[in-house]
Amino acid sequence: MTKTAAAYRLPVRVYVEDTDTGGIVFYANYLKYMERARTEYMRSLGFHKPALFDGLQFVVHEVAVKYHSPAVLDDLIDVTAVLIKGSRVSFEMSQQIYRGDELLVEGSVKVACINAQTKRPQGMPKEMITTLKSQIG
């Protein structure tokens, strides 16, 4: 997927704490960057505590990541999030990480809505479903 105006974009600076001894971003940190972009995207839609919402929790159900090229210490990267699917109990986002125009990492993340107490799947509030479905591109 290429960059589009519809994608939510979060700029991130790579710090020494993000890298291995060679100054290359540790592979698991890309998942952290993606999490931050998803969280800020949801916040931009009006959901100010995206991981916990009126007795519900949002948890990663599936993730797929493809690494193309590494980010390195002091890079300024952009992490995107685009909503691509949504249902009553889950949504899926396509995410990319760029350094300028160079695609470094791409992936998809499926997030499920569960009851905070029982940890079982539960439907999202109607206003959330409506908002998310309006964002699917």
Q: Can you count the helices (H) and strands (E) in the chain?
A: 2, 6
The span from the CA of 59 to the CA of 42, in Å, is 14
Q: Could you write out the DSSP letters of every residue in 65-78?
A: EEE-S--BTT-EEE
Residues labelled as active-site residues: 20
The span from the CA of 125 to the CA of 109, in Å, is 20
Tokens (6 digits) for 55? 């007795």
52: left (phi over 0), alpha (psi -120 to 50) or beta: beta
Distance of CA 89 to CAs 11, 13, 29, 60, 94, Å? 29, 33, 27, 12, 18
